[in-house]
Chain A
Amino acid sequence: MPSLGADMEAGTLVEWLVKPGDAVKRGDVVAVVETAKGAIEIEIFHDGTIGELVAAPGSTVPVGGVLARLGDGSVTAVPAARPAAAPEPARASPAPEPRRPPPAGTRARATPAARQRAASLGVALDGLQRTGVDGAICLADLSQAAKPAPRRGGFDPKAMRAAIAAAMARSKREIPHYYLSLSVDVTATLGWLDRTNAGRAPPDRLLPAVLLLRATALALAGTPELNGFWEDGAFRPGDGVHVGWAVALRGGGLVAPAIRNADRLGLDELMAALRDVVGRARGGGLRGSELTDPTVTVTSLGDRGAESVLPIITPPQVATIGFGRVMERPWVVDGAVLPRRIVTVTLAGDHRATDGHRGGLLLARIEALLQTPEVP
């Protein structure tokens, strides 16, 4: 049972997605586990063949407990390749292919309208219900898919509340926070965004949050001291800028899944990634690694939020960055007072890992980057 957060003590196995004999690769989803953060898809850490499923669905397993064993190849492993009795021609690839190509004729049959909407929603057709004429996927099947899948194992808001309480109490108990804030003029940036979106159909439009996210990710790449973990009395830098994006859940609660390598994604890619994690955070289907990967957390209060936020660091991370609502304010520009669109960016830093000077540099970088959103 992997730890899906500093606050997690145990998880309940909801279902197995593999069976003994299945070949698995690192990163494959093998099980669904119910945690305080909802039903999470668990990925395997090693390549191999599933030997024995130890935990039964419904059982609660402590973090570090055994869920299943990988086969050693002698008893349960499927032979990797058949003996060369009937050698296949032109099969020179060194490793056996992990998946067989689907038999001919299994391309998902979908109506033109369903196919087009699926493409614009970024929904895969495989695995959807097929209630249309001649067993095709039709629009109705897509609106089913667009609805959040029923939660596997049932989501308990009380458990999530308790988990947040534990993590935040630990943070405030252990982490000496320092706070910095900077009001940033984003008039030019948002003007650029307005012009860009004016030429785009609704599915292709960008949210202001994406510009904030991108500037933050790039600034963190240049300020690695604020991107990582405080563990065992020392700082360990992150292996990339994996931004945990705080998503408020309907009915209460919060989860911050990772957008991996956010500093290397363009605006459109970031928008797609954001839409994806927000959708899955609310609808179920987050993977375990997405909860453990974040090297930093970013929270944006959006267009109905407060003016600024003083966030609390998620242990063992060392920083969290917050954005308030964009407000129109009188601002001094070249000696004149003008109405400008202002956003307040805040940083909560772990004073054990960094000092305010470093934090100030990060905010200054974010400010500078927010002046030129169009630079790739």
Chain B
Amino acid sequence: MINFLKEFWEFLRERKKYWLFPIIIVLAVFGILIVLSQGSAVAPFIYTIF
């Protein structure tokens, strides 16, 4: 994972597209929440967000 983040950061620097970074973070956080929420105790948390 660390390697991936390093490579992705290098990519953003090379392309000068730092603004993509927050979008990725939000997408990743929601992605993780959705995966965790499938039949788990985190599910109610998701409903409160939406």
The answer to whether A and B belong to the same complex is: no
Mark B residues whose CB is within 8 Å of A.
Answer: none
